[in-house]
Amino acid sequence: MKKVTLLLSLLLTPFLVSAQTVKSPNGQIIVNFSLTGNGQPTYEMTYKGRAVVKPSHLGLELAKDKHASKGLRETSLMDGFQILDTKSSTFDEIWKPVWGETATIRNHYNELEVDLNQGESKRKMIIRFRVYDDGMGFRYEFPQQDSLTYFTIKEEHSQFAMAGDHTAWWLPGDYDTQEQETQESKLSQIRSRFHDAVNWDNSSVSVFSPTGVQTSLQMKSQDGLYINIHEAACIDYATMHLNLDDKNMVFESWLTPDATGMKGYMQTPCQSPWRTVMVSDDARDMLSSNLILNLNEPCKIEDTSWIHPTKYCGVWWEMIVGKSSWHYTDDFPSIKLDQIDWNSVKPNGRHAANTQKVKQYIDFAAANGLQEVLVEGWNVGWEDWANHWKRDVFDFVTPYPDFDIKYLNEYAHSKGVKILMHHETSSSVGNYERHMENAFNLMNKYGYDAVKTGYVGDIIPRGDHHFSQSMNNHYLYNVQLAAKHHIMVNGHEATRPTGLCRTWPNLVGNESARGTEYEAFGGNKPDHTVILPFTRLQGGPMDYTPGILETQLNTWSDNTSWVRTTLVGQLALYVTMYSPLQMAADLPENYAKYRDAFQFIKDVACDWDDSKYLEAEPADYITVARKAKGTNNWFVGGKCDENGHKSTLKLDFLDKGRKYDCTIYADAKNAHYQKNPKAYTITHRIVKKGDTLKLTEAPGGGFAISLIAK
Amino acid sequence: MKKVTLLLSLLLTPFLVSAQTVKSPNGQIIVNFSLTGNGQPTYEMTYKGRAVVKPSHLGLELAKDKHASKGLRETSLMDGFQILDTKSSTFDEIWKPVWGETATIRNHYNELEVDLNQGESKRKMIIRFRVYDDGMGFRYEFPQQDSLTYFTIKEEHSQFAMAGDHTAWWLPGDYDTQEQETQESKLSQIRSRFHDAVNWDNSSVSVFSPTGVQTSLQMKSQDGLYINIHEAACIDYATMHLNLDDKNMVFESWLTPDATGMKGYMQTPCQSPWRTVMVSDDARDMLSSNLILNLNEPCKIEDTSWIHPTKYCGVWWEMIVGKSSWHYTDDFPSIKLDQIDWNSVKPNGRHAANTQKVKQYIDFAAANGLQEVLVEGWNVGWEDWANHWKRDVFDFVTPYPDFDIKYLNEYAHSKGVKILMHHETSSSVGNYERHMENAFNLMNKYGYDAVKTGYVGDIIPRGDHHFSQSMNNHYLYNVQLAAKHHIMVNGHEATRPTGLCRTWPNLVGNESARGTEYEAFGGNKPDHTVILPFTRLQGGPMDYTPGILETQLNTWSDNTSWVRTTLVGQLALYVTMYSPLQMAADLPENYAKYRDAFQFIKDVACDWDDSKYLEAEPADYITVARKAKGTNNWFVGGKCDENGHKSTLKLDFLDKGRKYDCTIYADAKNAHYQKNPKAYTITHRIVKKGDTLKLTEAPGGGFAISLIAK
């Protein structure tokens, strides 16, 4: 972490008062804290004088501790508090992320620390608020103290009282999956729409309340305020959901339990994650905000030279579509890893991760400037990996006999390419932890520097959930151990991110939402990718795996699904869906059919010195211009929903006096995500600062522009 | 494993019948198998024509599989069976254990295999009986088949219908502790005595039924049959309890659940452990039986040269008694391993595992022929290790600053002694697995070859139980990984053993019952050690840690407990409580007070060429003579309950024509475990085969004899 400037002033309040106020640096956001008559912590939040969060309670309900001897520990941390002290301070710093949307990030906030004492129990708790120009965060802190050492959280009761029946873009709250379609409705309609919003076919559905939703939750008020609730720095704590009291429009935190039903095991000193509320009357501020990253700790990896943004292709889409298989043989109803002689079993003839095919992918990557090649299905165990709650499902080190791991890595390296490792765990987490270090040692031996992990299915240890405290601990353990081995991590099905990539930038991506694969499972809605940047992407980049140019899958497979964007819409995603990890997900032979369009995927950067959100409206459209890292080149992406969109793009962001080779990838006039998805135009011109481009995005379409400085 | 002789004859039955009989080689035990009218498997067992197990059902109840598509998997494996085939065979083999009570063991049984088909579901199941002269075992086998690949066991329903209201020596059935006092009562009295039998103070009590008991369950019928129910080869399966229908005196299996309440996750091909019923009209046969070992697989470790029976002392009893501490500092209400600079904290001055003290123990061991020195409390984390359900509790590699691990191991080795490693896990199993290989690497680095493990407290992953399938898998994982590192394992609080030490003889011991430590926690009952060989020791040796010669703890500490045996009774345990791992558990300074008695502990062997049980009655007395491995020397031990015992010991087992130096350690005339425990006599004489010794054991006393061939 390179710290650039640090301005810190600490203003100690000399006296105690029962109500405290903290404002954002620009004064537009005001947060008030007070105690109710019975000593319950309460806060409220306004933006430009308009209520964002109405008076809302804060506190935690604790479980009875069977080892407690004095009865003290049974008291919840809900009320009975007095204010011991308050402290206000200002922080202003500019820091440089290892990779990101911008070269530098300003972390500028006013802070209020409220030191509370719970009289009867003598326990101390701190509530800390940080207020930014684009929102605020608060968290609970539990100092080390004799009267509070270990405690168990039954539930956190942090309220967020909304000021109206906002429009919300929500996912059903679920302890195990985040891969639903986003729903758009009024808050009051969540209950009636809840059942149909659940993807009951998913292998691990664990919904808990008919008004439970996930974060990041993007909302819009009737008077045009954009409000987003999420969390930051979720470490050693369960992932938070929100449960709505839909009579009063009050959200309350609802943590993910473990197998015992409990929600957190705490040892002081410790703290909760930050609970965040972003707000603006301009939707673009939701996308450009760095509030979540800023509320995370600085980078803890000293040498980050081995971490690099990456474009990659991979042996993946053909299995997703169903044309080839991850597994090697069809001959056994089930397998036991220690009882199979893989060299003697009969191959099924459809195993994709074979030496010859992987070699072709390596050649394709090398020829097109892609740095890595993901190979799924390289290792034994895929015959019965899913939906059996099987413990010893993979060993992460034994290749199938037709995957020559030594030769392929050497071949890749000779071409300047790396193979991207794959660790599907089948959610057998104990098994993965037993093998993890060996697996990383194997990666080091063969020169892999990145791994895609997967957590499909129900968790083992059985009864646990994907988003519990223990699982969040596991995901971080994985990232930290990977860092020790100089390995980057791309975690699929893991908990939705909360900005931890600032602290551990080797966490280069997560899936943690409905990705491109669902285009082969019946399709994503056309507005899906103009919602995700407002929601899922708040916490960190998503490995969305765009670039499916052959949008009709039945042209090359038996799969009757089709992609719910135009071909150009797929190109736009490389700019609108920020990630340091970008896949060219389609097959090399499909890219060969659209070489001119594929040129954009070859050209587009995946690390940036600057990003300017030019247009944005949740579920409607997003337009963003980004300046490629260390260059004067810009790339612009526009993506819209099923209604199409017209953009007037002012090239104000270009350097004055410089000319740019501009290539515009646009939907053709009659393009349409369903009826005519692959109709596109590619035009070239020379542009300069101040020029204006008029662009029309087809229904489900978009545009992509490269601006190469001359 | 050295296979000596193998005689095998396979007799295929050429036709199917609905009832099948299999007899023991001597014909005295008969087991009948049949199907009831609705196709439910049923068996019964007799001994010399007397009913041991009356007709009893067999079967398994399966859980509904949420991934089942055809509904087939919901059917339980309880009834609807037909007999497809039956096979009878005879097996007779003599094998040599790596260590044991005898140099060779005969494995001689008649076998009946019943191949069953469940018509509706088309599923196949095998029930296999093996009938020995001293009892029988049966198990369920589930062959690989398309109609049964994965299944979940809700409960196993194996019945054991008793023929009367037997006297039983029982422990309350419990998912997490085995450290209760054994109860002696009629079966019909279990219910009324159950509540008082539970040690509610134990940190992890999980009882489940007022008539639930543990195995090995020793019983005696009114007409003098000794009957024992236990299990053998419990691998990848939950530990079995027995639940009594006390109207009909029918026991039924009751497995240990995991956090979800389910009791087994199975993948074919697989099998249950063996369910064993031992029977004899001579109590000594209960002790000399090798049925449990014989039902386990042969040794899977190729090179066993590094496995050795061991006498050891250790830094342990002084902490148990409360005079010194495992932990290093008293200064923190709780600790986090990664946040403490151990060199800067204030020592509490009571930390026992310090370099100076350990050096003294090493000197003591070297001077007295003890091969190893256990050191507990050597590693950081003991400040708040217990009863907090703390995850990151130990790292197993970082010594406290006052324990010089390099120097002490080098010093020990220079004296011909090894230090015995200690891994207390605090039941944070996931944490132990994360560190296990590193911990073994550290042991290899410094030359440790044995580890004592511990599982005090509630299990993490939370909600799981000590005796569940997943925990049994963990214990075996630990033993197998240790074997890879040439490390012997002595597992405390782990599941009671089921003979796995035959297959993995580096599992040299377990605690898994109430050990000597309870003599410092209020005391064990005087009959405790004349019950354990009938119950706990059936499955494998116990690290009982005898040898507390200073029976009154308050002579050197503030502990007011006192040992419920005489001093000589402690010596007897080295012979009566068979284990290849024997601790001299008292302090060196206490042994200095009783040098003449301590001589027996120095002399006694812990590996044997032969063992002869001369007298036995559960909860009353045990007398056994053992021939020390590779010598002509014998050691005899007698132990009795609170009523005393008189033995007339015929020295028939000695070599004809050879003379022996005989040293007799006996209770003095007025000795008594409570009133006068340390009154003993030591007499010497020369004896030969055919001589008779008359010995009187005091209440709570015993005797110990060494017979050194001249």
Residue A399 and residue A380 in contact, taking contact as beta carbons nearer than 8 Å: yes
Q: Is the pLDDT of residue B1 over 50?
A: no
Shortest Cα–Cα distance, A387 to chain B (Å): 7
Burial of B657 (0-12, 13-18, 19+ CB in 10 A): exposed
What six digits make up the tokens of B623? 């007398």
Q: Which residues are CB-contacts of A66 (< 8 A; sequence separation ≥ 6)?
A: none
Q: Is some CB atom of chain A closer than 8 A to the CB atom of B384?
A: yes
Three-state SS at B635? strand
Residue ranges per structural domain of chain B: 21-295
Q: Which of A203, A267, A333 sits opposite B336 (nearest CB)?
A: A267
Shortest Cα–Cα distance, B388 to chain A (Å): 7
Residue (of B589, B568, B590, B506) closest to B540 by Cα position: B506
For B165-215, the DSSP string reads --EEEE-B-BSS---SPPEEEEGGGHHHHHHHHS-TTSTT--B--TTEEES
- H-helix or E-strand containing A208? none
Alpha-carbon gap, residue A358 to A372, rounded angstroms: 11
The mean per-residue pLDDT over the stretch A152-165 comes to: 98
CATH 3.30.1330.40 given to domain B21-295: no
End-to-end C-alpha distance for chain B, whole angstroms: 33
Strand-pairing partners, residue A676, are A672
Helices A355-367, A405-414: crossing angle, 10 deg rounding: 10
Q: Which residues are CB-contacts of A73 (< 8 A; sequence separation ≥ 6)?
A: A62, A64, A65, A148, A150, A151
Q: Is the pLDDT of residue A67 over 70?
A: no
Share of chain B above pLDDT 90, in %: 94
- Using a CB-CB cut-off of 8 Å, the residues of chain B touching A391 are 265, 470, 473
pLDDT at A19: 79
Q: Is the pLDDT of residue B405 over 80?
A: yes
Among chain B residues, the shortest Cα distance to A461 is held by: B461
In this structure, which amino acid lies at residue B458? D
Q: Which of B391, B430, B460 sits opposite A433 (nearest CB)?
A: B430
Alpha-carbon gap, residue A32 to A23, rounded angstroms: 9
Q: Is the pLDDT of residue B351 over 50?
A: yes
Under the banding of pLDDT at 50, 70 and 90, the label for residue A75 is confident
Residue (of B468, B341, B462) closest to B398 by Cα position: B341
Alpha-carbon gap, residue B678 to B692, rounded angstroms: 26
Q: Is the pLDDT of residue B117 over 80?
A: yes
Q: Which residues are CB-contacts of B55 (< 8 A; sequence separation ≥ 6)?
A: B42, B43, B44, B161
Alpha-carbon gap, residue A658 to A688, rounded angstroms: 6
Interface test with A, best of B437, B458, B462, B484 (most A CBs within 10 A): B462
Q: Is the pLDDT of residue A566 over 60?
A: yes
Under the banding of pLDDT at 50, 70 and 90, the label for residue B111 is very high
Are B430 and A434 within 8 A, CB to CB?
no
A517, A550, A642, A697: the active-site residue: A517
pLDDT at B103: 98
What six digits make up the tokens of A576? 């609108």
**What phi and psi values does residue B568 have, to the nearest 5 degrees?**
-65, -35
Alpha-carbon gap, residue A334 to B143, rounded angstroms: 12
pLDDT at B120: 77
Q: Is the pTM of this model over 0.80?
A: yes
Classify strands B183-186 and B167-170 as parallel, antiparallel or unpaired.
antiparallel
How many whole angstroms from its chain centre is CA A466?
15
For chain A, what is the mean pLDDT?
A: 95
pLDDT at A65: 63
Name the B residues in 142-161 with CB < 8 Å from any A CB.
144-146, 149-150, 152
Under the banding of pLDDT at 50, 70 and 90, the label for residue B74 is low
The mean per-residue pLDDT over the stretch B468-481 comes to: 98
What six digits make up the tokens of B158? 């194996």
For chain B, what is the mean pLDDT?
A: 95
- Cα torsion angle, A377, A381, A387, A392, sign: negative
Among chain B residues, the shortest Cα distance to A386 is held by: B67
Q: Write out the E strands in A561-620.
A: 581-583, 608-617
Alpha-carbon gap, residue B16 to B193, rounded angstroms: 47
What six digits make up the tokens of B694? 């008359």
User: In whole angstroms, how far apart are CA B516 and each of A277, B26, B544, B573, B586?
Assistant: 59, 40, 6, 11, 11
Digit-coded pLDDT (tens) for A248-279: 999 999 999 999 999 999 999 999 999 999 99
pLDDT at A2: 39
The mean per-residue pLDDT over the stretch A33-51 comes to: 97
Shortest Cα–Cα distance, A145 to chain B (Å): 7
Under the banding of pLDDT at 50, 70 and 90, the label for residue A18 is low
Among chain A residues, the shortest Cα distance to B387 is held by: A67
Under the banding of pLDDT at 50, 70 and 90, the label for residue B204 is confident
Q: Is the pLDDT of residue A70 over 50?
A: no
pLDDT at B66: 57
Burial of B414 (0-12, 13-18, 19+ CB in 10 A): exposed
Digit-coded pLDDT (tens) for B237-274: 999 999 999 999 999 999 999 999 999 999 999 999 99
Are B462 and A430 within 8 A, CB to CB?
no
The mean per-residue pLDDT over the stretch A144-172 comes to: 97
A99 torsion bin: left (phi>0), alpha (psi -120 to 50), beta (else): beta
Q: Is the pLDDT of residue A474 over 60?
A: yes
Strand-pairing partners, residue A563, are none
The mean per-residue pLDDT over the stretch B72-80 comes to: 77
Q: Which residues are CB-contacts of B710 (< 8 A; sequence separation ≥ 6)?
A: B658, B659, B660, B661, B686
A:B CB pairs within 8 Å: 106
Digit-coded pLDDT (tens) for B597-606: 999 999 999 9
Classify strands B608-617 and B226-232 as parallel, antiparallel or unpaired.
unpaired
pLDDT at A1: 37
Are B334 and A390 within 8 A, CB to CB?
no
Under the banding of pLDDT at 50, 70 and 90, the label for residue B7 is very low
Q: Which of B259, B334, B391 sits opposite A260 (nearest CB)?
A: B259
Under the banding of pLDDT at 50, 70 and 90, the label for residue B511 is very high
- Using a CB-CB cut-off of 8 Å, the residues of chain B touching A462 are 258-260, 262, 265, 470
Q: Which residues are CB-contacts of A164 (< 8 A; sequence separation ≥ 6)?
A: A221, A222, A223, A249
Q: Is the pLDDT of residue A11 over 60?
A: no
Q: Is some CB atom of chain A closer than 8 A to the CB atom of B224?
A: no
Among chain B residues, the shortest Cα distance to A473 is held by: B391
Alpha-carbon gap, residue B73 to B147, rounded angstroms: 8
Cα diameter, chain B:
80
Residue (of B423, B462, B458, B463) closest to B443 by Cα position: B423
Return the minimum-mean-pLDDT range out of A49-53, A196-200, B82-86, B656-660. A196-200
Residues of B recognised as catalytic: 517
Q: Is the pLDDT of residue B212 over 80?
A: yes
Alpha-carbon gap, residue B605 to A318, rounded angstroms: 67
Q: Is the pLDDT of residue A327 over 70?
A: yes
